[in-house]
Amino acid sequence: MHESRSPWRFILPSALGVLLFMTPVPMEDGMTIPIAVLSGALQNALGGMIPGLMTFLIVLAALFTLIVKAVRPGFIRRSAFWASLFDVSVFWTIVRIAGAVFAVMTYFKIGPEAVWSEATGGTLLFSLLPVLFSVFLFAGLLLPLLLNFGLLEFVGYSLTKIMRPLFLLPGRSSIDALASWLGDGTIGVLLTSKQYEEGFYTKKEAAIIGTMFSVVSITFCLVVIGQVGLEQYFIPFYLTVILAGIACALIMPRIPPLSRKPDTFINEAPRQADDEAIPAGYTSFSYGYEQAVKRAGRNQFTETAADGLKNVLDMWLGVIPIVMALGTTALIIAETTPLFQWLGLPFIPLLELLQIPFAREASETIMIGFADMFLPAILGESIQSELTRFVIAALSVSQLIYMSEVGGLLLGTKIPVSFKDLLLIFIIRTLISLPIIAGVAHLYF
């Protein structure tokens, strides 16, 4: 393949990617990134059309999956992309069908209200999926600017000496973390998934990044702290979330279940010890720059455009039906059963030990965060203790894994984490974060 060594093939597309995905811009409701601005503009332009379009796409995904399972047409056998998108296991076929049923019931408000109410299916179809629709469109099309033009090679070799000893990760993972922090956890999951599928992360690394660094954005943190009426404490709140997140990211890769993930790539090849070695005569910076220019030179813009379109189709047809199915199921359980209150009971002694007022009421918010990150703040806003509301808000963000978005997204990708893994990681993150958050809360209240 023709290879250009022009540094501009690396610098210009990468700079544009950084501008779009990682450059904070001030908005009326806080800081965000240009991709989120574009996403919001599309949502405003399309208005109420998006839920109907999402319902159509979810039903289309289920129908194509059923047809492929029954007939296996020729275009599926000849295309690795279409095969990976529609030739899925029986379990994921059932999940896609469930997502289609929930979407139709919710859009037309038919069947049991427990499925389509504003607190369950309505939350997914009319609130979350419009956001994912537009984020996936722009992020999917434009992610190749970050992935294909050498930025990850440059950053990877430059930061490996930091990321590897601290978090057991390659330096390029810092881009995933930064994109999540400034943008949204969904963008981080998408980045991580593509990097894993392309053979840059091992199974262990992809699982660590997806469950430790796919944090919610600064803007959404403002919404959470505002919900519990503590906007004036945003800075200590966010610093507390960062502190708890770093503690989890330092500890959890070294303990099960993440420590037991195989350190092999998607093709089962092991990572070699010298994969990230810097040759003699180079600094990490100069070698990273050389590899970045080489990577950009090998890239063809037509391939980049095709990759972007595949990203969008993969997320619209492969991931969104799973988010609809799993998110709606989790919210139905949260709204119609006392399951999450029962699961919170074992935390009452720990909350009392940490001297958290209204320990019983607070315990009811802990496990419900597994269904949706915003539910703890909604349940906790009426608690009469500012300290307790601060703890609930900070913990809900620090728990990170919630099935209505990040959890459902992770299960919908090829990142090797199971539902059991996510539940266990959620509980361990809670146990690590809670004492840290409680300690900081006692300093302020």
Is residue 405 helix, strand or coil?
coil
Q: What single DSSP character describes residue 272? A: P
What is the radius of gyration, based on Cα positions, of the chain?
Answer: 22
pLDDT tens for residues 27-45?
Answer: 776 666 788 788 889 999 9
Q: Report residue 331 as tokens.
A: 């919210």
With a pLDDT cut of 90, the percent of the chain lying above it is 41
> With DSSP H G I counted as helix, E B as strand and the rest as coil, what are the percentages for the chain, rounded to 5?
75, 0, 25
pLDDT higher at 411 or 101 = 101
The pLDDT of residue 73 is 80
Q: Which pLDDT tens digit goes with each residue over 284-301? A: 888 889 888 988 888 777
Q: Are 385 and 366 in contact (CB under 8 A)?
A: no
* pTM (two decimals): 0.77
pLDDT of residue 274: 65
- Ranking 43-52, 177-186, 352-361, 379-388 by mean pLDDT, the lowest is 177-186
Does residue 86 contact residue 64 with C-beta atoms inside 8 Å?
A: yes
CA distance 152 to 196: 13
Instruction: Say what the pLDDT of residue 4 is.
Output: 58
- Average pLDDT of the chain, as a whole number: 87
Of residues 317, 62, 323, the one with CA closest to residue 185: 323
Q: Which residue has the tokens 């070698």?
A: 287
Terminal alpha carbon distance of the chain: 63
Residues 387-400, mean pLDDT to the nearest whole number:
95
Structure token digits, residue 9: 């093939």
The enclosing H or E element of 226 equals helix 218-227
Q: Using one digit for the tens of pLDDT, what is the confidence trace for 195-216?
A: 899 898 999 999 999 999 877 7
Q: What is the rounded distance in angstroms from the CA atom of residue 158 to the CA atom of residue 163?
A: 10
What 3-state DSSP class applies to 30? strand
Range from 67-81, 92-106, 394-408, 416-430 carrying the lowest mean pLDDT? 67-81
Average pLDDT, stretch 251-264? 96
CA dist., res. 102 & res. 112, Å (int): 10
3-state SS, residue 32: strand
For residue 61, which of 7, 101, 21 has the smallest C-alpha distance?
A: 101
Give the pLDDT of residue 124: 87
Query: Is residue 102 within 8 Å of 115, Cβ to Cβ?
Result: yes
Q: How many domains does the chain have?
A: 1
Which of 62-71, 152-161, 172-181, 418-427 has the highest mean predicted lDDT (pLDDT)?
418-427
Question: Would you state the pLDDT for residue 360?
Answer: 93
- Judge whether residue 2 has pLDDT over 50: no
pLDDT of residue 1: 43
CA distance 180 to 405: 13
3-class secondary structure, 285: helix
Bridge partner residues of 264 (DSSP): 270
For residue 77, pLDDT over 80 is answered with: no
Which of left, alpha, beta for 229 (phi over 0: left; psi -120 to 50: alpha)?
left
Q: Pull the structure tokens for residue 398.
A: 């620090």
Answer with the residue of higher pLDDT: 397 or 314. 397
pLDDT greater than 80 at residue 3: no
Q: What pLDDT is attached to residue 295?
A: 85
Q: How far apart are CA 425 and CA 370, in angstroms?
A: 10
- The reported pLDDT for the residue numbered 183 is 57
Give the C-alpha separation, 72 to 160, whole Å.
44
Query: Residue 279 pLDDT > 60, yes or no?
Result: yes
Give the contacts of 303 (CB within 8 A, at least 6 positions apart).
148
Q: What is the pLDDT of residues 365-380, one digit of tens each?
A: 999 889 878 788 878 8
pLDDT at 219: 60
Range of the structural domain that residue 325 is part of: 1-445
pLDDT tens by residue, 141-194: 888 888 788 888 888 888 888 888 999 998 888 887 777 765 567 778 888 888
